[in-house]
Structure 1
Amino acid sequence: MFIFANLKEITMKLSQILTLPIQKAVQQLFDVSIDRVEFQITRKEFEGDITMVIFPLLKVIKGNPIEIGTKIGTYLVENVDEVIRFNVVSGFLNIVVSDDYYLNFFKEIKDNESFGFVPVSPNDKAVMVEYSSPNTNKPLHLGHVRNNLLGYAVSEIIKASGKKVYKTQIINDRGIHICKSMLAWQKFGNGQTPESVGLKGDKLVGNFYVKFDQEYKAQIAELISQGKTEDEAKKQAPIIQEAQQMLLDWEAGKPEVIQLWKTMNQWVYDGFAQTYKNLGVDFDSYYYESNTYLLGKEVVQFGLEKGIFEKDADGSVWIDLTPDGLDRKIVLRSDGTAVYMTQDIGTAIQRVKDFPDVGGMVYTVGNEQDYHFKVLFLILKKLGFDWAESLFHLSYGMVELPSGKMKSREGTVVDADDLMIEMTETAGRISTELGKLEGYSEEEKAKLFKTIGLGALKYYILKVDPKKQILFNPEESVDFAGNTGPFIQYTYARIQSILRKADFDLSLAVTELELHPKEKELLKQIELFPDVIQNAANNHSPALVANYTYELVKEYNSFYQSVSILGEENMTNKVFRVQLSQKVAETIKSAFKLLGIEVPERM
């Protein structure tokens, strides 16, 4: 009736320990049976490790909330070993948990390097996560970077939560936009290849996409100067008509067009592979629009037979979703050709055929496609696929620069490769200015700069809720203070320095110890990690993992400033504090691994 365990704020374990005793207390003290108990984190200004909210009980218990809380608190102190004292503030029962509870917890996890991660259950259905899904007419840009980082991190987080995950993408390798690059290369390329010009293949092809647009605009302007309207000029420009003819030739299977298409696409695939490697993302399977664009047509007939789809007089096939608050959507044109929706229906079905253990899919696609996925998921549900109940659109906001929106056709995008190079160079410059590189070889510096630069980029993007738009500032992201990747990496490196200096056996067991308040707060933060992973997986939000890590690091730095670690005279305290530091470092590393971010041993 009343439990709401907010996993962003409190540990499942502690709420589970206290729920049953509180239910018994309410039954014995007030002769009332309750199904649920509401918990929340204790506010900083009050003593306590977890807080029970009294107000919901007032619906079934008459009385003063302070008196009710005091009675329940007294019962807990007398009957629950973990509870040592309490205080009541208004309608909130703040419960103080014993040091032994936290020491026992630490003993359980100290040597568990997989702490927080749930083993994959062979009986659970797998999840397929789609991300990247680029066009083969241009290199990956900043928007693709956010897409890839989100998709990869969500995949890793869902995997850590205990599910098998398949990472996939669908490559948009056909259509008029592909033909534009091909035609421009034919006209202006003079036989250039990536090898002949020393350029990554995706960049070379992207240059010709920009070249097409420049030539197209010039021809439009010329036709307008001859008296054509803008609409007439756009349709009659020779270069667009040639591109449209090339598309028809491709669909007809004209050998020389198909060969050129294969050659230029391979240039792009090779370029993408290099970018993915540098970005640190990978895939288990690939789908290509050139193979999937006919999928789904057979499903249309099935839908017609079941009365899910309806055929208009002109032969086109539709689905009426107005009763569901949407609109009427075409799934097959009057000439029998499929639309994107049909293709997506067919591709989803094909994926389940290819991977029979898949029970759900996550589509990492920008928020401009929100409506498309509402329609797609609803159609698949109406077609009767049980896995359609477990489809999720990981919708994300656009990434913009201080200078404004990016435009591929005009060549004003921020290239993903160039961005990674810039981040590495920025990290190098700032690190050098801070003067923290004594004793590093040039090779070690280069590796460190890349680790810091890419860590800064990934963290800056992933710490933001996916639904929110990002204004990306490279300089700001490489700040060594505040909620940034380098700040967290620096804390990890600081702990590694402590561990290197520790001249004693870290495997020593610490049994009896009175915890410093800062030690207890740090243990409480570590205890949250498994719940954070589950919550991030359920919400498809790497931001929860990123910001948890920042909070952990802030708590550790407060601990570091407040107590002596290696300088502590009491050996038991010293050993425990170094062990606790080590566990914090392990948790940082684990959390950052989920985000695809490396941590340096020195910094």
Structure 2
Amino acid sequence: MNIKNIIEQKLAEVILNVYQLKDIHLEIQENKTEFEGDFTIVTFPLVKQLKKNPESIGVELGQALTEQTDLLESFNVVKGFLNVKIKNNFFVDQLKSIAQNFSNIEKKNATVMIEYSSPNTNKPLHLGHIRNNLLGFSVSQILEEAGYDVIKTQIINDRGIHICKSMLAWEKFGKGETPESTNTKGDKFVGNYYVEFDKHYKQEVAALVAQGISEDQAKKEAPLMKEAQQMLLDWENGDEKVRNLWNEMNSWVYDGFNTTYKRLGVEFDRVQYESNTYILGKDLIKEGLDKGVLYQKEDGSVWCDLTDEGLDQKLLLRSDGTSVYMTQDLGTAVERFKENNIQKLIYTVGNEQDYHFQVLFKILGKLGYWWADQLYHLSYGMVELPNGKMKSREGTVVDADDLMQEMHHVAKLKAEELGKLENLTDEQKEENYESVGIGALKYFMLKVDPKKKMLFNPEESIDFNGNTGPFIQYTFARIQSLLIKANYLHREISDVELDQSEKELVMQLANYKPTVEKAAEVLSPALIANYVYDLVKTYNSFYQSNPILNQEDENIKQMRLNLSNLTAQTIRKSLNLLGIQTVNRM
């Protein structure tokens, strides 16, 4: 229990004793004002009930807290705000408690599955996938830290007309080349042929339009499109030649994806493939028809009427008996709850799919699945670079690998400019550039609330000042240097009077676990990012105002070293929740 919780508990007891009022929760803020005191208690909610002015309520509560508890050293009231100064021993005890319970995780006895990444096998991962992966992986880390068991999963879109476009283009224009023969990363290699298909397809469409055919008709009649559609039919019918090519080209892509995932520092416990899941959900159609949740039109198509929910009528089965994406997602969700002992399922998908998930969750609820209200769409805004949006068909995508390499390069230039890594080997320098560069990318992406659209600026993200990853990594490195110089070993301290900057740092350290709980509740790594930034600012203020290595009083010196070490551990843990590595030299 941190000091704020102790004050809340004692305050509730005092309000009951003095005013005979139950379940009254007054707001308690850490005091960041010029008024003396560690916390501020807002008394205004009691004004109406007690019919007293806020100043007199503040005085009465301050006196009662002083007389009935051993919390307060002093208090003052300013315009109805009760500022309380807490006795020193509470902060010393709090520091010990944080250190003792630092690694403890209170298990929730609940399992959450979180889906993220979910790419297509016709192109490499791009900037949008980076935000998706970083967000999904970070949320999974936060949930684990909050005590949940987590299953990280992705479903790979490995079938469909778009996949056939890459396959057909390779057959026609590839001349037998491979990723190995061209020294090209597998996902990029296949993605190049997706772009190649589009280029030739547009030429065919333009030629047909020049012959007097309408553009819409030309798009349907273009020979390449007809061949791609035939290839999809052959795939669905199990044609051996098409299936062999499909397996080979997908294997190239998976090798490429795995390389990107490794550098990005994300991983998965389970991988599903749409080629296996696209047949799921059809059995739910009969179930829905029997229950009267779904209805069938004369042409044989099956629909769900959600107009009474403020939505529309949703097609679930075409008249030819083929399913749509919604049908597959229904079946996949049911299978996941059936195959895994999970209590919650989170989908990390961009906000352009908001409506899709509203419909999905409503239909599952209508079908009577108890867990329908435990489904959550972790919706996030699009990410752009200063030069604008991306178009995958035209090959203007901001490639994930290229962006990570650029971040590595920018980190190298910044380190060389600062000149602080001269004593490291070339290998150690490269590791440092990688940790700082990729860390800057991750922090910049995750510090923004997921729901907001964002503009990613590589140069801005790697600034060593301000709310950036390198600024936080640098503070961690500075503390490591301090602890090494001090030959630090942890020792318990007692009877040390803490100054205001030390108390503020203890309070900030005590906020780590409540922040993790809140971040797990709202599924937002931004809370962790901004917490660790505030922690670093608080530590730097403490560091600048308190001598440590040349402190003559050994007890005070040990306490400040303990504080520094605990801060470093908390920074490391916070960054780990964001998937970011720490470095010992910068």
CA distance in 2, matches of 1:387, 1:125: 13
Unaligned 5+ segments in structure 1 are 1-11
Aligned pairs for 1:390-405 (under 5 A) are 390-405=374-389
1:144 aligned partner: 129
Identity %: 56
Q: 1:120 aligns with which of 107, 113, 136?
A: 107
1:65 aligned partner: 54
CA distance in 2, matches of 1:228, 1:34: 75
Normalised to the residue count of structure 2, the TM-score between the two structures is 0.98
CA distance in 2, matches of 1:22, 1:111: 26
How far 1:488 moved relative to its partner? 0.5
Q: Does 1:353 align with 2:342?
A: no
Contact 2:3 2:94 in 1 (8 A): no
How far 1:562 moved relative to its partner? 1.0
Q: 2:72 aligns with which of 72, 79, 83?
A: 83
Q: Report SS of the residue matched to 1:363.
A: strand
2:199 aligned partner: 214
Contact 1:32 1:60 in 2 (8 A): no
Q: Which moved more, 1:556-565 or 1:146-155?
A: 556-565
1:326 aligned partner: 311
Q: 2:82 aligns with which of 72, 93, 97?
A: 93
Q: 1:363 aligns with which of 342, 347, 352?
A: 347
1:488 aligned partner: 472
Show CA shifts across 1:96-123 (max 9, x none). 2222111101112225551xx52434xx
Contact 2:2 2:94 in 1 (8 A): no
CA distance in 1, matches of 2:548, 2:514: 28
Contact 2:28 2:41 in 1 (8 A): yes
How far 1:37 moved relative to its partner? 3.3
The code of the aligned residue for 1:587 comes to T
CA 1:372/1:597 → structure 2, altered by over 3 Å: closer, same or farther?
A: same
How far 1:520 moved relative to its partner? 0.7
Q: Report SS of the residue matched to 2:2.
A: helix
Q: 1:596 aligns with which of 573, 576, 579?
A: 579
How far 1:68 moved relative to its partner? 0.8
Q: Does 1:425 align with 2:409?
A: yes
Q: Which moved more, 1:101-110 or 1:124-133?
A: 101-110
Q: Report SS of the residue matched to 2:322.
A: coil
The code of the aligned residue for 1:40 comes to Q
Q: Report SS of the residue matched to 1:358.
A: coil
Q: Does 1:518 align with 2:501?
A: yes
CA 1:311/1:41 → structure 2, altered by over 3 Å: closer, same or farther?
A: farther
2:523 aligned partner: 540
Contact 1:82 1:100 in 2 (8 A): no
Aligned pairs for 1:443-522 (under 5 A) are 443-503=427-487, 506-522=489-505
Contact 1:533 1:545 in 2 (8 A): yes
Residues paired across the two proteins, number:
586
How far 1:300 moved relative to its partner? 1.3
The code of the aligned residue for 1:452 comes to V
Normalised to the residue count of structure 1, the TM-score between the two structures is 0.95
Aligned pairs for 1:199-278 (under 5 A) are 199-278=184-263
The code of the aligned residue for 2:494 comes to T
CA distance in 1, matches of 2:222, 2:88: 78
Q: Which aligned segments of 4 or more residues in structure 1 are displaced greater than 6 angstroms?
A: none
How far 1:51 moved relative to its partner? 2.6
1:54 aligned partner: 43
CA distance in 2, matches of 1:14, 1:112: 15
1:18 aligned partner: 7
How far 1:43 moved relative to its partner? 3.8
CA distance in 1, matches of 2:227, 2:49: 77
How far 1:320 moved relative to its partner? 1.3
* TM-align CA RMSD: 1.4
Show CA shifts across 1:457-493 (max 9, x none). 0001001110111111111111111111011000000
Contact 2:124 2:399 in 1 (8 A): yes
The code of the aligned residue for 1:469 comes to K
Q: Which moved more, 1:332-341 or 1:488-497?
A: 332-341
Contact 1:181 1:212 in 2 (8 A): yes
Q: Does 1:587 align with 2:579?
A: no
Q: Does 1:307 align with 2:296?
A: no
Show CA shifts across 1:505-557 (max 9, x none). 62222100111111111111101000010000001000000110010001111
CA distance in 2, matches of 1:97, 1:407: 58
CA distance in 1, matches of 2:252, 2:135: 26
Q: Report SS of the residue matched to 1:520.
A: helix
CA distance in 1, matches of 2:186, 2:12: 66
Show CA shifts across 1:161-209 (max 9, x none). 0010000000000111100000000000011111111111101000000
CA 1:497/1:443 → structure 2, altered by over 3 Å: closer, same or farther?
A: same
Show CA shifts across 1:421-466 (max 9, x none). 1111110011101111121111110110001001000001001110
The code of the aligned residue for 2:553 comes to N
How far 1:594 moved relative to its partner? 0.8
CA distance in 2, matches of 1:135, 1:381: 29
CA distance in 1, matches of 2:76, 2:312: 56
How far 1:58 moved relative to its partner? 2.1
Q: Report SS of the residue matched to 1:286.
A: strand
Contact 1:426 1:453 in 2 (8 A): yes
CA distance in 1, matches of 2:482, 2:13: 47
Show CA shifts across 1:210-229 (max 9, x none). 10111111111111222222
